[in-house]
Structure 1
Amino acid sequence: MNYFGALEAFVQAAETRSFTEAGRRLGVSSSAIGRSVARLEEDLDVRLFHRSTRAITLTAEGELFLERCYRIFSELDVAKNELSQAAGKPQGRLRVGLPQLGAHLMRHLIEFQQRFPEIELELDFSDRLVNVIEEGFDAVMRIGDLDDSRLTIRRLDGYRHRLVAAPAYLSRHGTPTHPTELTDHACLRYRYPSTGKLAPWPLLARGRPLYLELPQSAVTNTVDSLLDMAEAGLGIALLPDFIVEDAVASGRLAVILNKHVRDHRSFCILWPSSRHTSPKIKAFVDFMASRLGTAGALQG
């Protein structure tokens, strides 16, 4: 029995909840996935999935086995990394987790892959709190820090927010000159996907934080849709500076109340601590630090 093939079939089926989708990912038929899983269940003498005509779901034993499989593949990656390190050349699969906001860093990620063509870059965009080690990530980029002593952290320079609106909107409704005037404007708000809470606007008046009950003219949980609504003249939005820089430079958006907005968010890269960092992780961390700037490193 090809155990690694069977384990890969099981993991893909567990992640996709579908033999068909697992087969598509691995380039085999759904029946081949089903046979591999069935042989694995027979060999282990345990049922890994509940099956129905509509879907498959993990049993309690399947959930436990999935975590073990992640560890097995993680150890295999470590072994590959050690061999790669011996050769000293960045290569192999690099699985990176990024926040949804990280999609706006694609120009850097594309440049990285062009510079290191032998690295197979796999990107996972999600705002959920991932388990870097258990889920088999080589590195994760996040806003702020994650507290895990098993991880090495490299802090990068971050960004600040801007209040922006389309010139057409400001022409129709006027340009606010003080934060309190925002209560009379259409405010386009961002809702955190992970918590469901509205993102507060970091407003200042006379150098002190100002908390206002702002209108919710529109609410969205993606920065892309927020940017689109602002450019369409639907209202005022709070967005990261690196996301709006092109729209501001081209005149599609204007920055308002700049001296009344004060905050700073930092990016960080986290990866599993080990005595030797693999060449592919080192290449990725050093490259992103060169593009975003660095605020130093902290060994976990």
Structure 2
Amino acid sequence: MESLGALNVFAQAAEAGSFVGASRRLGVSPSAVGKAVARLEGRLGARLFHRSTRSLALTAEGGLLLERCRRIFAEVEAATQEMSLAQEAPRGRLRISLPLAGMLLMPTLSAFMRDYPEITLDLDFTDRVVDVIEEGFDVVVRTGEVSDSRLMTRMLGAFEHRVVGSPDYFERVGHPLSPEDLSRHACFQHRFPSTGKFERWPLYRGQDFVGDDLPATLSASTLEPLIYLAERGHGLACVPIFTVRDQLASGALVSTLTPFMKSTGKFRVVWPSSRHPMPKVRAFVDFMAAELKLGA
């Protein structure tokens, strides 16, 4: 703390251009400023100012030290502000990017809104890769891994996929007994809007992937129409369990080929790195991690 105090005296003298000006800012005598700078120079073994009766100019070493001081005090100020903010109640606008499947997380988001009425949500649904910092997002929810060192990340939960159809569909067409039987079924495919490719059905026999060359009776860039049409008996969809939890519980949809399913996906929440996240960000991250049940 003594070193920080000496650095502050030095920085004030450099900014003011004189010991007298620094003394007015700090509320001490000019001689006290001069002595503090002299002691600092002694410890550093370098001259920080060119002194004359009329002016005070930084040496090259003094200029380098002033740059460092500015960064140090900016960090101290930022840390102080963050700690102050951390004590505040969560409030304000929270800009969130979610995948298109995130529409199916609306019940969880609705519960968050009830618990935090002073937070206003600004939701952006897209499957493209967003630049969290450049595009000004407070929080981003995505599947997969995160490698950006500028971001903090927390896993919300893992989930598996299921091939589902309605009882009426299975009564008419029958259950597939193996992945190869799907060639005789109406299969609804999820198409990634960013690439145009179909999301593969994670079907395995042992370690061998056997989910290739499935029919594409219908394709869509979001999951909702696939689930809707599967509920109404038009075919089969392969979707994350959490998107059809209610339908499976009520019997509106039934899963099939479960022994051949192998996928485990992960939902992560990421946000700009900070020692002390804004209260609204911390509230959202903690709430989603606690409330979002992605399993069966």
The residue type paired with residue 238 of structure 2 is L
Q: Structure 1 residue 212: deviation in Å?
A: 2.8
RMSD over aligned Cα atoms = 2.0
The residue type paired with residue 289 of structure 1 is A
User: Separation in 2 of the partners of 1:258 and 1:83?
Assistant: 49
SS class of match (1:246): helix
- Aligned match of 2:182: 182
Q: Structure 1 residue 207: deviation in Å?
A: 4.8
* Cα offsets for 1:9-63 (capped at 9, x unmatched): xxxxxxxxxxxxxxxxxxxxxxxxxxxxxxxxxxxxxxxxxxxxxxxxxxxxxxx
Q: Which moved more, 1:232-241 or 1:207-216?
A: 207-216
- Aligned match of 1:118: 118
Q: Structure 1 residue 83: deviation in Å?
A: 8.7
- Aligned match of 1:224: 224
Q: Which moved more, 1:123-132 or 1:243-252?
A: 243-252
SS class of match (2:248): helix
- Aligned match of 1:257: 257
Structure 1: 5+ residue runs without aligned partners?
A: 1-77, 295-300
User: Separation in 2 of the partners of 1:197 and 1:218?
Assistant: 13
- Aligned match of 1:90: 90
The residue type paired with residue 102 of structure 1 is G
Q: Structure 1 residue 92: deviation in Å?
A: 1.2
Give the conservation status (yes or no) of the 8 Å contact 2:95–2:122: yes
Number of residue pairs the alignment of both structures matches: 216
SS class of match (1:199): coil
The reply to whether residue 245 of structure 1 matches residue 245 of structure 2 is yes
Q: Which moved more, 1:124-133 or 1:81-90?
A: 81-90
Q: Which structure 2 residues correspond to residues 198-209 of structure 1 after superposition, within 5 A? A: 198-209=198-209
- Aligned match of 1:152: 152
Q: Structure 1 residue 120: deviation in Å?
A: 1.5
User: Separation in 1 of the partners of 2:100 and 2:262?
Assistant: 23
Give the conservation status (yes or no) of the 8 Å contact 1:162–1:240: yes
Bigger Rg over Cα: 2
Q: Structure 1 residue 265: deviation in Å?
A: 0.7
The reply to whether residue 215 of structure 1 matches residue 215 of structure 2 is yes
The residue type paired with residue 128 of structure 1 is R
- Aligned match of 2:289: 289
* Cα offsets for 1:262-285 (capped at 9, x unmatched): 101101011001222111111111
Give the conservation status (yes or no) of the 8 Å contact 1:91–1:120: yes
- Aligned match of 2:278: 278
- Aligned match of 2:65: none
Q: Structure 1 residue 287: deviation in Å?
A: 0.6
SS class of match (2:285): helix
The reply to whether residue 141 of structure 1 matches residue 120 of structure 2 is no
Give the conservation status (yes or no) of the 8 Å contact 1:190–1:223: yes
Give the conservation status (yes or no) of the 8 Å contact 1:188–1:237: yes
SS class of match (1:289): helix
- Aligned match of 1:31: none
Report the identity percentage: 46
The residue type paired with residue 145 of structure 2 is D
User: Separation in 2 of the partners of 1:201 and 1:106?
Assistant: 25
TM-score, normalization: structure 1? 0.68
User: Separation in 1 of the partners of 2:94 and 2:113?
Assistant: 10
TM-score, normalization: structure 2? 0.69
SS class of match (2:244): helix
